Amino acid sequence: MTKEHIVYLALGANLGDRRRAIRQAIVRIAEQIGPVERQSSLYETQPWGFSSPHAFINACICCRTTMSPIQVLRATQRIEKEMGRVEKTHDEVYQDRCIDIDILLFDHLNIQTPELTIPHPLMHEREFVMVPLREILKEGE
């Protein structure tokens, strides 16, 4: 039997129909990664780490998956690309984005590779992540 994992993802969008982009990303995650167990409210926040006149819509979700962490990373990158995302940064500066999906937590794993760090290394500095994450975290997780 294949082991199921619990993964928490942060989603953000500040270009186009932001709420629709978040909803569409959640549908794609459910189809390509696994069933979405919990979903936070949508939060409107100001850009973090760069200047932009475009506010973000942010949310967090929890889903079950049989994929490995690296497979989840590849799937989220594919979903971002399918939805029109080009690059996360330009000259190491964050950019406006139609969708952003970050892995926050994966079971109770600690992973640190050049490609993937879990738990997400900056999540505790970002209220736009922590507020929706706290909303959906189960006691004891």
CATH of the domain at 117: 3.30.70.560
Render pLDDT for 95-135 as a digit per residue (tens, 0 to 9).
788 899 999 999 999 999 999 999 998 899 889 999 999 99
**Number of folded domains that form the chain:** 1
Which residue intervals of 1-141 are DSSP H helices? 18-32, 69-82, 127-136
Asked, for residue 94, whether it belongs to a domain, the answer is yes
Asked, for residue 141, whether it belongs to a domain, the answer is no
What are the Cα distances from residue 101, in Å, to 2, 22, 75, 128, 140? Answer: 25, 9, 10, 13, 24
Asked, for residue 51, whether it belongs to a domain, the answer is yes
pLDDT at site 88? 59
Asked, for residue 25, whether it belongs to a domain, the answer is yes
Hunting for tokens 């799937």 — which residue is that?
Answer: 75
Domain span holding position 102: 5-135
Asked, for residue 140, whether it belongs to a domain, the answer is no
Helix (H, G, I), strand (E, B) or coil at 115: coil
Asked, for residue 40, whether it belongs to a domain, the answer is yes
d(CA 104, CA 33): 15
State which residues of the chain have pLDDT below 70.
1, 85, 87-94, 138-141
d(CA 50, CA 64): 32
Asked, for residue 105, whether it belongs to a domain, the answer is yes
Asked, for residue 48, whether it belongs to a domain, the answer is yes
